[in-house]
Chain A
Amino acid sequence: MLDIRNLNVSYGNVQVLWDVSLNVRKAEIVALLGANGAGKTTLLNALTGVIPLRSGEVEFDGTRIDGIANSDIMERGIAYLPEGGRLFPEMTIQENLEMGVYPRKLWGTRKAQLERVYDTFPILRERKRQLARTMSGGEQQMLAMGRGLMSNPKLCLFDELSYGLAPIMVREVFRIVTSLREQGITVLLVEQNAYQTLEIADRAYVLENGRVALSGDSKELLANDYVREAYLGL
C-alpha cells in the first residue's frame, strides 16, 4: 500500500535520511522505531510534503506521491498526526474535527463522520463545545486521532502517539490503533516506546542515524538480542 524506495532527505547541507526503503501492506500496523534524532519524524514530514525530498520514490495505493503538496495528502486518503497532535487550540473540539474534512469533496460528509468519530471517542461528544486547549494531554491525543479519522483515511501516519501520556492512556490509545487495523485501516506508527509498540505492531523498522538498521516481524525483533539491549533495556 505504501512503498518507499531509496529516500534521501537533507536539511541544507546536512543529510538526515540515507537511502531509506520501507513498505507497509494493507491493514497492517508497521512500527518505525529509533532514538531521538534518528530521522523518524523527518521521514513522515518528507512523505507528506511538509519538507522536500532530495531523491527517492514514494508510491501510495499504486500512484507516485513523492513531491506532493502537504495540502493534497488528505484527499489521497492519508491522515498524518504530527507529534503533539497539533490541534487548533482556540477552536472547539467539534471545529477541530470538522477541519479533518476540510477539503471541499469531503466537507459534505462531516455530519456522518462526526457521528462515527463521536462513537469511537465518546469523551469528545461530551465536550464538543469546549476549546481544544482546555483538554488534558490524553484527551487532546484522542481528538488528534479523531480529527485524523474524520476523512476516512486508508493510511494513518502516527507520530509519537504515546509521548507524554499516562500509562493508562497509552494502553487506551494503542487499543484504538489496533481497532483501526480491524477496520482495514493501514497504520505506520512512529514511536520511541519500543516495547508496547512492538506488542501491537505486525512488523517494524529500526532507524539509526538516518538509515534503516534493522527490520522484521515484531515477534522476531522482540526476541532480537540487539533490539532487547538497545531499545528495550532488557
Chain B
Amino acid sequence: MTTLLNIIIGGLIMGGIYAIISMGLSMQYGVARILNVSHGEFIMLGAFLTWTLSQAGISPLLSLVIVSPPLFLIGFIIHRTAFKRLSSISGGGAFEGNAMLVSFGLMFILQNVAMIIWGSSPQGYQFLVKSVTLGGATFAVNRLVVLLFALVISIGFYFFLSRSRIGKSIRAASQDPIAAGLMGVKINRVMALCFAIGALLAGLAGVLLSMIYQINTAMGMSYTVIAIIVVVLGGLGSIPGSLIGGFILGLVGSAVSYIEPSLQLVAYYVIIMLLLLVRPKGLLGR
C-alpha cells in the first residue's frame, strides 16, 4: 500500500513536470509550427538560474516568479527575430523543416553558453530536505511541494487556454489561422506569444526539477525527447492530450523505475511504438 502510494506520488510529480514541458512544446509546435529541439535547453536554463539564485540565498519558490519573465522575454525575442524572419523567407511548406534546423542551432548555442557560465559538472542545492509521514508512507517535503506546483501550473495553464480571451485566440489561431485573422487576431503576435509561453513553461519545469534533482548543463536533450514522446502520445497540437499524456507517461515511468530504474526510457519507447501501431493520431489527436 505504501509502495503503491509512493509510486503514484512519484508518478504524479514526474507526470506534472512532463505535462508542463509537453504543453510548452505543444504551444510551439501547434501554433507557431516550430518543432523546438532546444526546448530542453530552456528547462536547463530555468534550473541553472534557480541554482544561481539559490547560491545567493533566494528561495527556489521565489525563483518561480523571478525566472519566468526573462525566459518568456527570451522566447519572445527569439521568435520575433530568428523565426519571424525565417518564416518570411521560407516559401511554401519549407518553414517547418527550416525552423527545426534553427532550433537545433539554438540548442547548441544555449547549451554551450550555459557550459561556459556554469561548467559541465552536476550541481544541486538543498531545499526542504525534511520528511513528513502521510497515510503510513514517508515523503520528502520538497517532492510534495514540487507536486503541488506542477499540478497548479499545468491545470492553471489549461484553464488559461480554455477560458481567457488570449487563450481562446491561441486555440482559434491553431485551428484556422486565416479565420482567426479575420476575427482580429494578430497572427504573428500570437505565434511569438506561443513560442514565449513554451519557453516560460520549460523554464518553470526547470525550476521545479532543480528542487528535487541534481542538474547539469547537458540535461536538456533527454527532456526534449520526453516532451516529443508526450506530444505524439497525446496527439500533435492537442493541449489536453499533452496534459493527459504527461501524467500517463509519468505514472508508467514511476511504476517501471520502481521495478528497474534503467528500464524507464525503454518503457516510454515501447509505449510510443505501440501507440503508433494502434492509434497513430495520438490519444486525443484528430
A interface residues with partner B (beta carbon < 8 Å) = 48, 50, 70-75, 80, 82, 86-91, 95, 98-100, 102-103, 107, 147
Contact = CB atoms under 8 A, between A and B. Distances in A.
Contact of A75 (B171, B184, B187): B184
A42 to B, nearest CB: 14
Contacts of B129: none
Q: Shortest 8 CB-CB distances between A and B: which pairs?
A: A86-B179, A103-B184, A70-B181, A88-B175, A74-B184, A102-B183, A99-B183, A102-B184
B182 interface: yes
7 contacts: A50-B181, A70-B181, A70-B182, A86-B176, A90-B171, A99-B169, A102-B184
Contacts of B171: 88, 90-91, 95
Interface in B57-80: none
B175 A80 contact: no
Contact of B175 (A70, A91, A100): A91
Contacts of B168: 91, 95, 98-99, 102
Interface string B158-195: 00000001001101100110111111111100000000
A135 B179 CA distance: 18
Nearest to A50: B178
Given A86-B178, A88-B179, A99-B185, 16 more contacts: A50-B178, A70-B181, A70-B182, A71-B181, A80-B182, A87-B179, A88-B171, A88-B172, A90-B175, A99-B169, A99-B183, A100-B183, A102-B165, A102-B168, A102-B183, A102-B184
Interface of B: 165, 168-169, 171-172, 175-176, 178-187, 286
A87 B172 CA distance: 9
Contacts of A86: 176, 178-179, 182
A71 B187 contact: yes
Q: Of residues A74, A90, A98, which shows the largest number of chain B Cβ atoms within 10 Å of its Cβ?
A: A90
A102 B178 contact: no
A72 B184 contact: yes
Given A88-B171, A91-B168, A107-B165, A102 B179 contact: no
B182 A82 contact: yes
B182 A74 contact: yes
A152 to B, nearest CB: 14
Contacts of B184: 71-72, 74-75, 102-103
A95 B179 CA distance: 14
Nearest to A74: B184
B155 to A, nearest CB: 19
Nearest to B165: A107
A34 B237 CA distance: 39
Nearest to B162: A95
A72 to B, nearest CB: 7
Contacts of B180: 88, 99
Q: Of residues B165, B169, B182, B187, which shows the largest number of chain A Cβ atoms within 10 Å of its Cβ?
A: B182
Q: Of residues B175, B178, B183, B186, which shows the largest number of chain A Cβ atoms within 10 Å of its Cβ?
A: B183
Nearest to B181: A70
A46 to B, nearest CB: 14
A100 B168 CA distance: 11
B239 to A, nearest CB: 10
Contacts of A88: 171-172, 175-176, 179-180
Contacts of B178: 50, 70, 82, 86
A146 to B, nearest CB: 13
A105 to B, nearest CB: 9
A41 to B, nearest CB: 12
Contacts of B169: 99, 102
Contacts of A87: 176, 179
B186 A71 contact: yes
A217 B256 CA distance: 76
Nearest to A85: B179
B20 to A, nearest CB: 22
Contacts of B182: 48, 50, 70-71, 73-74, 80, 82, 86
